[in-house]
Amino acid sequence: MKKTILFVVVLLLCNVAMAQMKVTGKVTSSEDGSPIPFANIQIKGVRNIGATTDLDGKFTFESISKDAILVVTYIGFTTQEVPVQGRSEVNIALVSDALNLEEVMVVAYGTVKKGTFTGAASLVKADAIKDVPSLSFENALNGKVAGMQITTTSGQAGSTSSIRIRGIGSMNASNEPLYVIDGVPVVSGDSGQMGDYIYTSNNVMSSLNPNDIESITVLKDAAASALYGSRAANGVIVVTTKKGKEGKPVISFKASVGVSPTWATSNFDAASTEQQVEMYYENFWNAGVYYQNMTQEAASISALKQLSKRFNKHGYTFSASDNTVKTLTIGGDRAGKYYNWDDQLFRTAVYQTYDMSVSGASERSNYYSSLSYTKEQGRVKINDFDRISGRVNLNQKISNSIEFATNINIAKSEKSGYNDTRSTGANYFLQSRNLLWGLYWPTDYLTGDPWTARYGSYAYNPVYYNNEWENWSKMLKISANETLTVKLLPELVLKSVFSYDNTNTMDHIYYSALHFNGSSTSGSVTEMTTNETKLVSSTTLNYNKVFAEKHTLGVLIGWEAEDNRTYFHRSSGTNLPTSALHTVSTAGKLDAAGYNWGSTMMSALSRIEYNYVNKYYFSASFRRDGSSRLGETTRWGNFWSVAGSWKIDSEKFMDNIDYISNLRLRASYGVNGTLPSSLNGWRSLTSYNNNYMQTPGGGVSTIADANLSWETSYTSNIALEFGLFDQRLTGSIEYFNRDSKDLLQDVPISLVTGFGTTLKNIGEINNKGIEIELNGDIIRNKTLTWSAGLTASTVKSTVEKLYGGQDIIWYDPTGGDARAKYIYREGESTLALYGLEWAGVEDETGKNLWYLNNDETPDLTVKGRAATYDYSKASETIIGNIHPKLFGGIHTDVKWNNFTAGLNFTYKIGGYTYDGAGKDVTDDGYYWERIMSKDQYENRWTPENKTASLPMRAAIDMEDVNQKSSRHMHKADFLRLKTINVGYNLPKNLTSKINVSNVRVYFNGSNLWTMAAYDVYDPEVNEYGTRGWETPICKTYTFGVEFTF
């Protein structure tokens, strides 16, 4: 299409030239010097003469004017005009048009030129994500799209990320965006049911090889996303996979190896063993002297007795000759030797990936196929993930008007050995930081046998127990999209897509009879199979026509049906006969469950797009969805949008302003929705989980609102896009306002009805913010380009309305440890931390102080405010807001001859994070049997350190540390060098000798540098802004090589 338009333009400027000569030349890419075949070359102003480059990028004109101007065009590159100026050989290097307004972007049900799109969308191309060592593409998007926050709770290999586009719009339903791959909505999130047993997730998106991705478009406003109707309120992520390019088959092979020797930051690093012993002694000594009126001698005896009781059996003795910590000495047979548990539990993790792809195209067919193998190790020794995936994308023109396309992806992955929960002995990160003393050894000091009992801190010996349990999840995912495109008329195209997507996940979890989780049942094993099928059929008719050369009209109508069904089966066995067989079949006692669930949706959709002289654009969309998640009376809903844009720089009055190369204003308004998470929230159910006397028992289990409906978002968006100095500086500034209404809430009802809550559409949330994207070429010439860009976003996310105006207290659902407390209150943030307000530590006594925030009689005043020593007298209040003031990314790239280099930063300014682990490792003496952090050692109150930030430790059951309070709240600001890339393309004369068209070697460093306002733990926290005992992320150094044949 683009070529045709240019062709027409060239023809219209028809002119006759004189002085003929023969001209030959070669067209190459400025990026890597590789030849560009099939580039189109026209002579400016001359009709009927043109050439196409051959496979080596060469062209010949037998006879043209020596003053001719060659116009070279090729998709994906900026069109260039080159005067011949009498030369017989003209070599042309085309520059890739990364910033080109003509760039084609995949959006809802079609493609659009970036410069003409009326909605808010961001495009991320393969280049931006290709070298990042990540199983799944989401992490590579970090900081690249304004308004989008990506968080990873866990550094476990294969775990799920969370994405928030433009804030939080729901309390009860999902806040995750819709994912669309090659035009078809797909399943996302966690796969399998292992989460019911241990704290983990298995990211279904990791079945998509990031190397197969051509581009990712993030649809942000209603104009961009409303065509996805009732699922689009949280934005849409549109992924497009690769296609072949016309020309010789391109064979590419890529291999990379990454190593992760350390965590990305310090994470609750433990104090040394000597320091731990010192704090332990001090804990009891303080309790004796300060709280129990003991003499120093008595307190010292009591403290030493505690140490001896715990550690004599491990080969250590303790003494303190002057009855204070100053003379505390560790003796005994193992004196001076401490066990290094970190070495035992963690490793330098290795990441390897191998990708091979073959692609090509002819006039009638187009293919891309790939095979990939990836193996990722977690830093936790037992955690592994591997994946093998293959893809075939085929396009075949049957005739001039009919085209078939097939995209098939198959991926198999296996994840093993994981657990992030706070509550079991199986979380090695927690154990290393909080439970495993250097004084504990994996073997018994006296007998040399493995230590099998619980250690005093409630840790279990992982060296022994690692062999007594296992878990894994195996996922096999097959997806096939068939697309038929029929050109019914030149202006009318019918497209029908049928997609089949099946994800089969098998989960296995085993504890031997010797394991502490299996001992009461003589061993246990559970096998689960979850099979999720998604069928999507969508058919669209697309009409596009230019009338009177001024009016461009596009009309789309279509319908879509979707069927989702998941079959689940679980069988469990306990009382296992032998530790050699880890299967349910051998078990003495069996238990099973099996059922299936699903949802369906039907939709009709339409869109109209119109522009007048490519200056004034207008579009509108309408979709009607019917969903099985809602009752008959309410299941159909209408979603729509209107949008317009005005290309100001095309106006006459802008003609004289040379430095503005693009100026466009666009605005949109629309309505889209979110369906309830619950499949049957509208239906009162009788459930059968009340077995009685070994017979089935049932009862009404929910009281439902038959009129339950989806949540509705009303989004307006206004943006200014600009390009300056011939597009050397481009950018956009965008304002959005999203009012989410009819939000689902579990509304409290009279218990006399038989139930405590019912799901109703009640709440309202508002999100508004500003997003800025800026990109600039600082230096742009033939050998050197240096560009830089930034994204910056603000989101203000506010609860507007709640049922009866009543506050709702809720807890961070991650980790199952209710680590942070929040409140939904009208007029407050959607992530408002709720708890006691800590007033710090009293210098003289080392005691905790709390602001009262009520009318109780204060014990004292702190900074002029009423305060108390006793937390139970203080009242809870809103203590902070998780949402940052500003977040985004900064990137800069340099290309110099064959070298490329890039830096990608992400940052967050303002807001707080909540520390869910601090109560364990900076404890006041309550968990006295555990080890403490370096932070605790350095900052605790002692008579020598009276201005300490943490209180005195004393083993007297003080619960202060366990309060949800501002004590555990820390500033969230950080700047992180997310990735650094260096690449080098070997010179052609070298590579051609070995018949390789291109060889690239590269290095990628991930998370290598971090600067944080609070540096005790990794500042990249989860979507609720909390950090707990999840495995942290690592520094990864990746080296790769890529061959193209």
Question: If you ran DSSP here, which 8-state letter would residue 435 be given?
Answer: I
CB of residue 1033 to another protein, shortest distance in Å: 38
What minimum distance in Å lies between the beta carbon of 460 and another protein?
16
582 backbone dihedrals φ, ψ, rounded to 5°: -110, 45
Contact (CB, 8 A) for 310 and 318: no
Tell me the C-alpha distance between 381 and 378, whole Å. Answer: 7
Q: Using an 8 Å Cβ cutoff, are 36 and 27 in contact?
A: yes
- Quick one: 698 or 987, whose CB is closer to another protein? 698
Minimum CB–partner distance for residue 520 and another protein (Å): 9
- Check residue 95 and report its DSSP letter: P
CB 540 within 8 A of CB 557: yes
Instruction: Give least dist CB 495 to another protein, A.
Output: 10
Please state the closest distance from residue 838 (CB atom) to another protein, in A. 23
Residue 926: CB atoms within 10 A of its CB come to 19
Specify the residue, 498 or 1045, whose C-beta has the smaller distance to another protein. 498
Instruction: Note whether 516 and 423 are within 8 A (CB).
Output: no
**Nearer residue to another protein within complex by CB, 22 or 589:** 589
Nearer to another protein, 63 or 694 (CB): 694
* Cβ partners under 8 Å of residue 635, min gap 6: 626, 627, 628, 629
Q: Which residues are within 8 A (CB) of 141 and not within 5 positions of it... i.e. 6 or more apart?
A: 124, 129, 148, 150, 216, 218
Residue the block writes with tokens 């038929």: 484
Length of the chain (residues): 1045
By beta-carbon proximity to another protein, the closer residue of 280 and 926 is 926
> Which residues are CB-neighbours of 339 under 8 A, at least 6 positions away?
438, 439, 440, 441, 442
Q: How far is the CB of 752 from another protein (least distance, A)?
A: 5
Nearer to another protein, 72 or 525 (CB): 525
What is the closest distance, in whole angstroms, from the C-beta atom of residue 500 to another protein in the complex?
Answer: 16
Where do the DSSP E strands lie in 837-898? 838-841, 848-851, 860-862, 865-868, 877-881, 886-896
By DSSP bridging, strand 89-94 and strand 20-29 are parallel
Closest-CA residue to 792 (of 724, 701, 885) = 885
* Residue 539 or 544 having the CB closest to another protein: 539
Contact 894, 784 (CB under 8 A): yes
Q: Which is nearer to another protein, 560 or 771 (CB)?
A: 560
Nearer to another protein, 588 or 697 (CB): 697
Name the minimum Å distance from CB 636 to another protein.
Answer: 9
Q: Which is nearer to another protein, 548 or 752 (by Cβ)?
A: 752
In the bound state with another protein, the residue whose beta carbon lies nearer, of 361 and 802, is 802
Structure tokens at 1006: 């991930």
Minimum CB distance to another protein smaller for 597 or for 616:
597
d(CA 149, CA 167): 8
Q: Output 249 or 697, the one with its CB closest to another protein.
A: 697
Q: How far is the CB of 685 from another protein (least distance, A)?
A: 4
In whole angstroms, the minimum distance from the beta carbon of 393 to another protein comes to: 22
Residue 656: count of CB within 10 angstroms of its CB: 6
Query: Minimum CB separation from another protein for residue 82, in Å?
Result: 44
- Whether residue 250 contacts residue 370, with contact meaning beta carbons closer than 8 Å, is answered with no
In this complex, which beta carbon is closest to another protein, that of residue 508 or of residue 760? 760
* Pairing label, strands 178-181, 236-241: parallel
793 alpha-carbon distance from chain centroid: 17
Q: How far apart are CA 523 and CA 546, in angstroms?
A: 73
Nearest to 102 by CA among 92, 117, 122, 120: 117
Task: Name the amino acid, one letter, at 461.
Answer: N
List interacting residues with another protein (CB under 8 A): 401-402, 484, 486, 488, 494, 496, 537, 539, 559, 561, 563, 591, 595-602, 626-628, 632, 635, 679-680, 683-688, 690-703, 705, 748-756, 758, 806
**Shortest distance, CB of residue 781 to another protein, whole angstroms?**
52
Closest CA to 133 of 199, 206, 240, 241: 206
Output the smallest distance, CB 697 to another protein, in A.
4
CB of 687 to another protein, least distance (A): 4
Measured from the CB atom, is 601 or 605 closer to another protein?
601
CB 84 within 8 A of CB 77: no
Between 562 and 1020, CB nearer to another protein: 562
Q: What is the DSSP letter of 208?
A: S
Q: Identify which of residues 312 and 633 has a Cβ nearer to another protein in the complex.
A: 633
CB of 1002 to another protein, least distance (A): 46
Q: For the CB of residue 559, give the shortest distance to another protein in the complex, in Å.
A: 7
Q: Are 677 and 174 in contact (CB under 8 A)?
A: yes
Residues 6+ apart with CB under 8 A from 809: 821, 822, 823, 834
CB of 708 to another protein, least distance (A): 11
- State the helix-helix crossing angle for 296-311 and 273-286, rounded to 10 degrees: 130
Smallest gap from Cβ 407 to another protein, in A, equals 20
User: DSSP state, 916?
Assistant: S
Tokens of 461: 């010996």
Contacts of 752 (CB under 8 A, 6+ apart): none
Q: Which residues contact 361 (CB under 8 A, 6 or more apart)?
A: 243, 244, 245, 246, 247, 367, 395
Q: How far is CA 99 from the centre of its chain?
A: 25
Cα angle: 40, vertex 45, 51; to 5 degrees: 25
Beta-carbon contacts of 864 under 8 Å, excluding residues fewer than 6 positions away, are none
Nearer to another protein, 454 or 551 (CB): 454
